[in-house]
Structure formats: structure tokens, C-alpha cells
Amino acid sequence: MRAFVLSLAGAAAFGSACAKPAPISSQAPTLTVGLGFGGTAQAPSRQYMIDSLSGEPLVAIDWNGRFQPRLAAGWTWSEDGLTLRLHLRPDVVFHDGTPLTADLVVADLKRSFNPAVLDRVTSISAEGPSTVMFQLTEVDAFLLGQLNNVPIKKGKDRLIGTGPFLLRSQSPEFVFESFPRYYQRPPAISKVLIKTYESPRAAWAAMMRGEVSFLYEVSRNAVDFVEAESRLQTFSFPRPYYIPIVFNLNHPILGRREVRQAINEAINRTEIVEKALNRRGDPADGPIWPQHWAYNPGVRSYSYNAAAAQIRLDAAGFPEVVSGRGRMPKRFAFRCLFWKEDPLFEQIALVVQKQLFESGIDVEMVPATLKEIGERHTSGDFEAFILQMTSGRSLDWVYGFWHSAREKKSGTVMSGYLGADAVLDRLRNARSDEETRIAVADLQRVLYDDPPAAFLVRPETARVIDQSFEVPSEANGRDVLGTLWQWKPRPAASPGAQR
Amino acid sequence: MTRITSRFVLLIASAAVAPLVLYGLVSVNHLRSGTQNSVTNGNREVARQVAARIHLYFDNNVRVLRSVGTELVNTHLEEWQQARMLRNHVLDFPEFRGITLFDTAGRQVATSRLVVKQVILPDPADIPESGVYIAPLQLDQDVLPTTIIFLRLDSQQRESGWIVAEISLEELWRTVDQIRVGNEGFALLVAEDGTFIAHGNPDKKRLVAAPLTSSSPERAVATELRTVAAKDDDSSRDYFDSTGRKMLAVGARVGTPSWTVIVEQPTDEAFAITRTLERQLTAAIALALLGTVVLGWFWGRSFITRIFALTKATRAIAEGRMDERVSLSGRDEIRQLGDSFNSMADKLVELQEDVRKQERQAMFGRIAAGLVHDLSHPIQNIGNSCKLILKMFDDVEYRETFKRTVDREMVVVKRVLDDLRNIARPIPLERFPVDINRSVAEVVESMQQHSETAGITLRAELAPETAFIDGDLFALGRVYRNLIINAIQATAPGGLVVAATEAHEKRVQVRVTDTGCGIPPDRLGAVFEDFVTTKRRGLGLGLAISKKIVEQLGGQITVSSEVGKGTTFVLDFPRTKPRPMALAAG
């Protein structure tokens, strides 16, 4: 009996010894990023990823469109608003150990920026070792937002940045290593690899096989299934983009405001979100980022009302007529280009076409490549097109797409739209929050009264991360990429770590 | 364990425990196989239902297509109307990615697609009789499975074209994902070429993304079950998945298309109920066994304890503790046996007391008779001499005779009294190494005249080697004389008495053998007892005292006899070493 008890005790001791938690891996924690190209995920995504890792701008824009210090610890405007001084952080060094100085910043700004973008800036200079001074011809509320768009780098190919990760190699894949002298704190992740795949499917397949720990983007059709996986964390968030039908106001019919208003009323945006975006998105009411601090949700926006649209078209002199055998009865017709390389746009086009058909508008949806659309919208050779456009989280993007002066200079969209120029100018010249808020509300009204486009939807996207990494909770509902430098490998014994 | 206890335990084991254990084993075995079959069949039924749903899904889609196609063909709509209709269907039925109508020549008539996608109609040889052809599975950009359904349209008994639809099988994923068996049982869908179409286990979705050439336990068992299901075989498979967990997998064929639905569940969950029931049954049987054993033990204990008490009392009585009695509880036969035992013990005590009284009386009688016998003669002689001395007091010679007579008779009296005293207490002995040969030879020598007078030959046969014993020479001499006198008295004239010695390594023996009348067997056992004699005179203490002397010297005395032939007394002593010469000289 004694022998039995003793053997049980021995077995228990052995079992408890065997059940000790596994030790934390001594290997450097590596994050492998999978980037799948195709559709809206294009090569610029890779550059965006690279810039997020290795570079930092002077000024950051937070989720609500507010400017936040980054490499610039702060800034001051002159009394007349024509001089901006950025005061650099003293503790920042480049990846090669060179301290961040005003001279280096000035040199990079001059090299990186298109003068057409900083069209109100007459000079950029260093005022002392840590102050960068901008001289302007006019007040420019968008200048700080513009500075967010370019990370400060040095080197012949602008590969040496100040970001949390330094670029070690570019071939066969991009390899980044943690920068121990990053001024905030060195990242817990030691290494980041970026692997590119020919399609989002291939990238996702790689993640399913465990070859990738962070999927840059997963398609809306697949998110439902990915969310169910216990070993993955899915972060969905609204992207700062919108999808409109942009009208060419030089078109004899689309140039008429009431027609454009009727088209906006004839479109059921909720149905587009439902059927084309698989409920992964929101209806759009304009180009302004809905989370922007100045956005006014109380301003009127278009809701679906096919009957009102038809009445408006009747009143505008566009009754429904039968034009002949083999042709649908219609009020009028126009041709709309859509981006054929992304199946999403074919779906949107189908839904929109059906909705407009029900109001008697015959839209011929013409598939086109991105290049074709780009060429045609910059040349004005279009009637309408459906494309994804950037709203960004700052207001300079809105100005850039919808101000007629910008069209001429940078050749973005030659739609002939002038209706928002005045209010966009006020927006750019605003020198206070109050002025900005008033200008934004007015812009929303202008875009409602005289819509240059039917703003359809704002798509959502999702990024997927392996459970072996812990992500800060403030990333929920927002782009988790912004917090990548704060991610931590989960200890091997914790419940979340399942790799 | 006594024999009755063993038998009792064996009785309980054979009557209660063994059948119970056997029943338990049979029940557990039947329970296990029954529930396992039940679980497997249940899971197979789930797989069949899922397969039926998938088949229905395709069937419904085919019906929808057929309906759309027939409507398009029969209603003679214009091209834009046909396109509109197809697009409306695509928007209303999200699983349709695109629908295209072809004429009999294979030319596109209308399509829901805005982006032209080339569709190649299948080879007529590949088209089944039903006119429905389902293309092999593809994975789209999002890894979601798609396939193309080609449906031949027949109107008024003749072929009237084709309707082709690209279908997203996302709904199948949802269907498969919704299947749960227990908490950890999932369904998966495998194409005819072994491609994993869908997997309900979120942690195994990677199998869908894995290339066909990759190997895994899941893929191996899926291949097996595809073959099994294709033959409508009801077999199931147990296997260890890629995480090392044992799984129960069953399959069911979809039919059209030729896919297989597999339902798998970890065996520790699938058979959890089985195991619980087994444990409960085993516990119940164990409890019943324990109860049986405990009850049996308590009942048996009361039974056997009483028997042990009786046994113990019996032994005590046998050992002479006559006051031992049993006190047994109950009202059964064992109790009656105990009462009978007590009565018997009481009776035995009475009888023993009676016997003791009788023996005491007999012994006293013998002692008295012996004393009277041994003492009356010397006392009579002394009395007679006293009477004469009164008359012949002046006779000096008579006074000497008187003195001699009194002294002589007083020696006899003293000897009788000494014998009596010695039998009651240890005889004082002086121990020292004695040459056995010499001691025997001296006694034989001293009794030669006695033996000659009796007409008997007395002879000593001594051992060739000298041997010593630790003894009292005087006491040993008395023993030898007693034995030789008894031998002479028991032997008729012309007989022989031999006193012999034998020396062994550790023992020395002295034998006194005669050719006398022998001692009957019924008296042989009592020859060494006190006050036992066959002579007319004496207390009967001679052999008793001899035995006492021998035993005090560490030896033993035995007798063997045959009536009419003679008797031999054997004295056996431990051999000792002679006294060193220096001590002997001192």
C-alpha cells in the first residue's frame, strides 16, 4: 500500500515538473508583414508601410484631424500668419546616428516637396540648429497637414529616417530592425520583414499557413471568416477614403445642378454598403473625414428618395421616354467609367446602375483600368467615373481634389467644378478653429446644394495580426498600423500566444 | 487467515462479488460500444445532413438559373431587358457573381457582367444527361471558393442555349462554419481532387490555404474518407490531427458536385458521455461491491469472531486454564454451542477436582503405605531392642548390639526421610568433570557381591576412550546403583546385567541393560513418577530421584523394555572437557 502511495506521489511530482510553463523564446521577436497587391492595395501601400516603419514626419495628424507634434516638438505662427516656425525635438537622431537638425530638415523638405503643393511657401530655411522657418505669401491652414505627408529622411535615396525601425535590406524582401535610439523608446519587436504577394488571396493564404504574422489588409468578403479564428486578431477601421461618382460638369446634362442633385437622391447608399461592401463600410455624404473635429454632422446630407429624384428630373425637363426598340425607356443617359481591376467597383457599378435605372437614368458602366481613368480624368475626357479618392484626416485633401485652381496646377480631376472654390479658400485661409469649423460647415452645404459628385460610400478595411503580438487597446477602431512600434510579443506561456 | 475465514470470503466472492464484477464488465463493454456507435452514427447523420444541404444549395441555384434562363428564352425580351434581368438577379442573389446567357452557337446573348470575362463552354462529352455541368472548384482573390455552373436550356424539346453562372461558394463556408458538434466538433468540405473547400474549425482554416501537395494528417484522413464515402461505406476513422489530438472523423458524399463532407470531433469530447457513463457505472458497481464486502465483513465478523472465541477458550482449557469460559451473543446455534462449551468446561472442572481428590487420596495412601512399610520394620526393631535393653541393660555386649541396631535402623529411617525430602526440592549437587568410565566401573565393582548373591552376572562394558561429564560423583553413583539394583531385582538367577558406556563427540551415554522380566508398556510411562513402585517395599522414589539427578546434571534418562526379554535404561549427558591438571592438582 505504502509503495503505491509513494509511486503516486512520485508521479505527481514528475507530472508537476513536466507541467511547468514553457520558457519565453530567446529568439528575437520578428514581425512578418504580408502585403498582397491587387485592387485598392497597390504598390503605394508598400511605400506607406516602409515610411510608417522607418520615417516620421515633422507633424502628425491624429484620428480627429488635429495636428500633433512629431519630429517638431511644437510650432509657432507669426502674428500675421505668414511665418511658421517649427521647433525640432532635441533628442532625435537619424538611423546613422546623425542628430536631427534644421539644416537637414530644410534640405529634405526642399528635395521632397512638389512646389505646386507648397504653393504659398516662398522659402524654407533653418533658423538656428533646431528651428525650421517657413515664409508664406498667404495664410495657409493646410501647411501643417502637408508636412504630415512626407517623412523626413536623409541619404541619396532617402532611405535613412528617424523612425522606430531602420531599413537593413531591400532584397529579396524588406528587412527592418528595431532602432535602439528611437527617441520615444525602442520597439519591443526586434525585426520586421515585409513580404509582398501577387494578390490579397496569396497574402492571406500565407497567413493561414503561418508564414506571415501581420496581414496588411484583408478583403471585406473574407473578414467574417478571419474574425472567427482564435489565433488571429482582426482590427477593422474606416479608411480615410471615399468612393464617389465624379461628374464632369462640362457634360450638358450632368453639368446641371438639379440633375446631380437628383442622381444623389436616386442612390441608395445603404444598399451599396450592404451589397457591394458586404456591410464593411458606411454611406458617404461628402469628401470630409467624418471623424474630423470640424465636421458638422448636423448639416443636411442626401438620403435615398427615388420618388423625389424622379420629380426633380421631371421638373428639370427630363421625363422618361421610350427612345426606340431595343433601348430602355429613360430620361437621359451617360457613360460612367469604373475601375475594372477591383471587383468591388464592378459591384458598386452594378448596384448604382440598377438604382439609377429605377429612376429612369441609363448609365452605361464602362470598365477601365486605373491608368485609363487617370488619363481621362486629368484630361477631362469623361462623363463620370467611379474611383476611390483620398479624404485623408486633414482638410487639404478636400481642397486638393475639389478646388478648380488645384486642378489646373496639379492636374488632378478636371471636372470643371467651381462651386466650392470660395469656401475652400476660406478654409485654407482660416486662422482659428472657429473659422475652420464655420468653413467646413459651409463646405458641406455647398457640396450638398451643388454636388460635384455623388459621394457613395466610405469603405472599411481590416488588418489582421497573429495572437503572438500584443497590440495597445487604443488601436481599437483605428488604424492599428500607427501603433506598430508599441506592439509587444506575447510571452509564450500566455493564453493568447498560440503559434 | 483461518480456513473458515478463507472459505467465508470465498463464499462471498463467488456468491456476490464475482457475478457483480462480471455484470459490470459486460455492461461497461456494451455501454462503450453502444454509445460509441451512437456518437459515430450521430456525427455521420450530421455529415449527411450537411451534404444534403450543400446538394440542395446547388440544386436551388440550378433551379434559379433554369428559371431565369427559361424566362429569358421564352419571353423574348430585348437584350437590355435580358441584361437588366440578369443584373437584378446577381444583385438579389449575392452568391451569383455573374450570369451570362449564350445561344446555341455559343455566342453571348446577355450578361450581368460589366467587365467582360471570357467563358468557355464545356465539351459536350463532359456534360451529363441532366444538362448541368459544374466546373472544378476555383479559389478567387479572397481565397473564397467559386465555381461555374453551366446549364443547358431546353425549350419546346430542343436545345435553346446555355446559361452560365459564376457562383461564390461563400455561403458554403457559412454553412460549414455553422456546423458544430458539441463544442469542438466541426465540419469540413473536400473537393473531388482533395482540395479543402471549407473548414469550420477557425484554427484549421489554414488547410484551405495550404497547397494541395502539402501533407497533413487531416489531408490524409480526408483522402481516405472521400474514398469511403464514395462507396457509401459507413466507416469512420480515428486519427491524430496535426496538433496531436485524437479525432473521430466521418464522411458523407454530397453527390453533385462530387464533394465530401467530413464531420470531425475530438474523441475526448465525442465519447465524453460514454466515459462519464462508464465511470458512473463503474462507481455504482464498485459501491455495490463495497457494500457487499462491508456487509459481508460485518456479518462474517460476528460469525467468525464467535468461532474464534470458542477456539480460544478450547485452547485455554487444553492449556489447563480451566476457568476460561465464552460469552457469545446472539440466539443462534453458535450461541448454543458456546453455552454447551461452558457447561462442558464446568463439568470438566468438577471431574478434574474429583480426579485430583482421588489421586491425592491414592498418593497419600501410597505414601502412607510406603512409610508404614519402610518405617514399621526399623521402628519395630528399635522398639523390640528398647524392650530388651530394659531387661539386659547390664549386659555390655547387648548394649553394643542395641546401639548397632538403633544406628542401623535409624539410617534406614533417615534414608526414607531424605528420599521424601529430596523429591520435593532440588537435590544439592557438586558438579565437576567426572570420568564416566571410572564412575561406572567403580559402582559395578562395588556391586559384584550383591549380584553374585542374586546369582546374576554383572558386567561393565566401557567405552574405549575416556569421556567426562559435568556431574556429581556421589549422586551419579546413587543413580547407577539404583538402576543396577532394579535390574538385579528384576532379573532371574542366571541372568545378565550390563552397565555400558558410550562416548560420542558431544554426548556421553550410560546404558544399564538387563535380561529380566521387562516392564509392561502400560507402566512404562509412569516408571519415573513419584511413589510408583512394583516392589513390596519402598516409597517408589528411586527412579524419580534418579531422573531428577540426571536432569539436574543436564542429561536425560529414558527406558525401553520388552516383557520377558529385558529392560534398558539409558542415561544421556552432554560431554564436557576434563579439568585442567593444575586445578586437579590443587
Question: For position A14, what pLDDT does the model report?
Answer: 35
Nearest Cα residue in chain B from A328: B80
Alpha-carbon distance values, B272 to A162, B24, B242, B250, B282 (Å): 58, 19, 21, 18, 15
Residues 6+ apart with CB under 8 A from B492: B516, B517
Q: Which residue of A has its CA nearest to B201?
A: A229
In tens, the pLDDT along A433-446 reads 999 999 999 999 99
Verify whether the Cβ–Cβ distance B141 to A349 is below 8 Å: no
Query: With an 8 Å Cβ cutoff, is B144 touching chain A?
Result: yes
Asked if residue A493 has pLDDT above 70, the reply is: no
B400 touches chain A (CB under 8 A): no
Using an 8 Å CB-CB cutoff, list chain B residues near A38.
141
Cβ contact A338–B112 (<8 Å): no
| Separation in Å, CA of A386 to nearest CA in chain B | 13
Min Cα distance A363 → chain B (Å) is 11
pLDDT at A143 over 50: yes
Query: What residues of B are in contact with residue A349 (Cβ under 8 Å)?
Result: 114
Determine the pLDDT at residue B537.
58
Distance (Å, whole) CA B499 – CA B487: 10
pLDDT beyond 60 at B386: yes
Among the partner residues B80, B88, B168, nearest to A326 by beta-carbon distance: B80
Among candidate residues A187, A78, A182, A90, the one with its CA nearest the CA of residue A139: A78
Average pLDDT over residues B416-433: 80
Higher-pLDDT residue of A377 and B586 is: A377
Residue A11 pLDDT level (bands cut at 50, 70, 90): very low
User: In the predicted model, what is the mean pLDDT of residues B516-528?
Assistant: 89
Query: What percentage of chain B carries pLDDT values higher than 70?
Result: 92
From the list A219, A229, A367, the residue facing B142 with the nearest CB is A219
Distance CA A283, CA B308 (A): 98
Query: Can you tell me the distance from the alpha carbon of B575 to that of B560, in angstroms, rounded to the nearest whole number?
Result: 23
- Mean pLDDT (whole number) for A143-163: 89
The CA-based angle A290-A292-A293, given to 5 degrees, is 130
Judge whether B89 is closer than 8 Å to chain A, CB to CB: no
Give the per-residue pLDDT at A221: 74
Distance CA B491, CA B496 (A): 7
pLDDT at position A1 over 60: no
Helix ranges (H only) for B319-431 are 333-391, 396-424
A262/A230 Cα distance (integer angstroms)? 47
Q: Which residues of A touch B205 (CB under 8 A)?
A: 208, 225, 229
- Mean pLDDT of the region A341-354: 92
Residue A407 has pLDDT above 90, yes or no: no
Of B267, B197, B208, give the one whose Cα is nearest residue B236: B267
- Examine the pLDDT at A70 and tell me if it is beyond 90: yes
Which of A207, A221, A357 is opposite residue B144, by nearest beta carbon?
A: A221
By CB atoms closer than 10 A (0-12, 13-18, 19+), residue B494 is exposed
What pLDDT does residue A39 have?
A: 56
Closest CA to A204 of A236, A162, A241, A232: A232
Q: Quick check: B206 contacting A, CB < 8 Å? A: yes
Separation CA B27–CA B153 (nearest Å): 61
Q: Which chain A residues have a beta carbon less than 8 Å from that of B88?
A: 354
From chain A, the residues in CB contact with B81 under 8 A are 328
| Nearest residue, CB atoms, B94 vs list A38, A275, A338 | A275
Strands (E), A91-169: 121-126, 131-136, 165-169
The continuous run of DSSP H or E covering A401 comes out as helix A396-402
State whether A328 and B81 contact (CB < 8 Å): yes
Structure confidence at residue A412 as a pLDDT band (50, 70, 90): low
Q: Which three cell numbers stand for residue A108?
A: 529634405
- Mean pLDDT across B452-459: 93
Which long-range contacts does A307-311 make (Cβ < 8 Å, 24+ apart)? A308/A262, A308/A265, A309/A262, A309/A263, A309/A265, A309/A266, A309/A359, A310/A262, A310/A266, A310/A359, A310/A360
Beta bridge partners of B161: B153
pLDDT band at B328 (very low <50, low <70, confident <90, very high): confident
Secondary structure E strands in B174-255 = 186-190, 196-199, 236-240, 246-253
Could you say which residues from 154 to 173 on chain B have a Cβ atom under 8 Å away from some Cβ of chain A?
Answer: 168, 170, 173
pLDDT band at B155 (very low <50, low <70, confident <90, very high): low
CA distances from B362 to A31, B351, B365, B371, B586 (A): 118, 16, 5, 14, 52
Q: How far is the CA of B279 from the CAs of A26, B272, B282, B293, B440, in angstroms?
A: 44, 10, 5, 20, 88
CB contact under 8 A, A209 and B91: no
User: What is the C-alpha to C-alpha distance for residues B70 and B156, in angstroms, rounded to an integer?
Assistant: 11
CA distance A230 to chain B (A): 6
Closest Cβ opposite residue B142 in set A201, A230, A357: A201
CA of A210 vs chain B CAs: smallest distance (Å): 8
Dihedral of the CA atoms A339, A345, A348, A349 (nearest 10)?
A: 30
Higher pLDDT, A210 or A68: A68
Considering only residues A230 and A317, tell me which one the structure prediction assigns the higher pLDDT.
A317
Report d(CA A401, CA A184) in Å as an integer: 35
A192 — pLDDT class (breaks 50, 70, 90): very high
DSSP E strand stretches across B13-92: none
Dihedral over alpha carbons B450, B453, B456, B460 (to 10 degrees): 30
* CB proximity B90 to A under 8 Å: yes
Nearest chain A residue to B143 by CA: give it.
Answer: A201
CA dist B491 and B200 (Å) reads 119
Are B114 and A338 a contacting pair at CB < 8 A? yes
Closest-CA residue of chain A to B177: A225
The closest CB to that of B141, out of A38, A340, A353, belongs to A38
Q: Are B189 and B259 in contact (CB under 8 A)?
A: yes
With bands split at pLDDT 50, 70 and 90, how would you rate the model's confidence at B178?
A: confident
What single-letter amino acid sits at B6?
Answer: S
For residue A42, pLDDT over 70 is answered with no
Q: Any chain A CB within 8 A of the CB of B113?
A: yes
pLDDT number for residue B384: 87
Could A230 and B202 be called an inter-chain contact, meaning their C-beta atoms sit closer than 8 Å?
yes
Give the pLDDT confidence score for residue B106 in this predicted structure: 83
> For the ranges A225-239, A440-454, B49-63, which has the lowest average pLDDT?
A225-239
Q: pLDDT tens for residues B234-267?
A: 668 888 888 888 988 898 888 777 888 999 999 8
DSSP B271-329: THHHHHHHHHHHHHHHHHHHHHHHHHHHHHHHHHHHHHHHHHHHHHHHTT-TT------
Helices A343-358, B79-92: crossing angle, 10 deg rounding: 120
According to DSSP, the residues that pair with B508 across neighbouring strands are B503, B573
B177 touches chain A (CB under 8 A): yes
Q: Report the distance separating Cα A432 and Cα A78, nearest Å.
A: 13
Grid cell in block for residue B426: 532440588
% of chain A exceeding 90 in pLDDT = 59
Neighbours of A424 (CB within 10 A): 25
Query: What is the average pLDDT value for chain A, to the nearest integer?
Result: 86
pLDDT of residue B586: 42
Percent of chain B whose pLDDT exceeds 90: 24
Is the pLDDT at A270 greater than 90, yes or no? Answer: yes
Is residue A376 within 8 A of residue A386, CB to CB? The reply is: no
Distance from CA of A36 to the nearest CA of B (A): 10
pLDDT confidence of A99, banded at 50, 70, 90?
A: very high
| Pairwise CB contact (< 8 Å): B87 & A327 | no
| B277-299 pLDDT tens trace | 878 888 888 888 788 778 777 77
Furthest C-alpha separation in chain A: 104
- Which of A195-204, A333-342, B76-85, B414-423 has maximum average pLDDT? A333-342
- Residue B217: asked if its preceding bond is cis (omega within 30°), the reply is no
Nearest one of A172, A142, A162, A143 to A54, comparing CA atoms: A162
pLDDT at B28: 78
Q: Say what the pLDDT of residue B581 is.
A: 52
Question: How does pLDDT run across B186-238, given as a tens digit for each residue?
Answer: 998 888 888 888 888 877 777 776 666 667 787 788 777 777 777 766 668 88
pLDDT reported for residue A497: 43
B373 inside 8 A of chain A by CB:
no
Quote the pLDDT of residue A23.
Answer: 37
Residue A219 and residue B112: Cβ atoms within 8 Å? no
pLDDT at B322: 86
The Cα–Cα gap between B275 and B281 comes to: 10
pLDDT by residue (tens digit) across A297-318?
A: 999 999 999 999 999 999 999 9
A179 grid coordinates? 532602432
Tell whether the model's pLDDT for residue A213 goes beyond 60.
Answer: yes
> Does the distance separating the beta carbons of A354 and B91 come in below 8 Å?
yes
Among candidates A201, A229, A343 on the partner chain, residue whose Cβ is nearest the Cβ of B205? A229
Nearest CB to B142 within list A221, A326, A328: A221
Contact between chains at B94 and A357 (C-beta distance less than 8 A): no
Instruction: Kindly report, residue by residue over B118-133, the tens digit of the pLDDT.
Output: 777 777 787 777 788 8
- CB contact under 8 Å between A228 and B141, yes or no, is no
Instruction: Please give, rounded to a whole number of angstroms, the shortest distance from the CA of B15 to a CA of chain A.
Output: 27
- Whether residue B143 and residue A367 make contact (CB cut-off 8 A), yes or no, is no
Longest dimension (CA), chain B: 195
Most A CBs within 10 A among B88, B180, B205, B212, hence the mutation to make, goes to B205
| Residue in B112, B115, B210 nearest the CB of A209 | B210
Asked if B177 and A228 come within 8 Å (Cβ–Cβ), the reply is yes
Give the closest-approach CA distance of B89 to chain A in angstroms.
11
User: B232 to chain A, minimum CA–CA distance in Å?
Assistant: 31
| Side chain identity, residue B16 | A
Q: Which residues of B touch A497 (CB under 8 A)?
A: none
Cis peptide upstream of residue B128 (ω within 30 degrees of 0) = no
Residue B116 contacts A, CB cutoff 8 Å: yes
Round to whole Å and give the CA distance between A74 and A69. 6
Residue B183, C-alpha cell as written in the block:
463544442
- Does pLDDT of B405 surpass 80? yes
Q: Which residue has the cell 462507481?
A: B283
Interfacial residues of A (vs B; Cβ cutoff 8 Å) = 38-39, 199-201, 204-210, 219, 221-222, 224-225, 228-231, 275, 325-328, 338, 340, 343, 346, 349-351, 353-354, 357, 365, 367, 498
Write down the pLDDT at residue A499.
Answer: 37
Query: Helices marked H in B130-265 — which ranges?
Result: 170-178, 206-209, 217-230
* Residue A216 dihedral angles phi and psi, to the nearest 5°: -60, -45
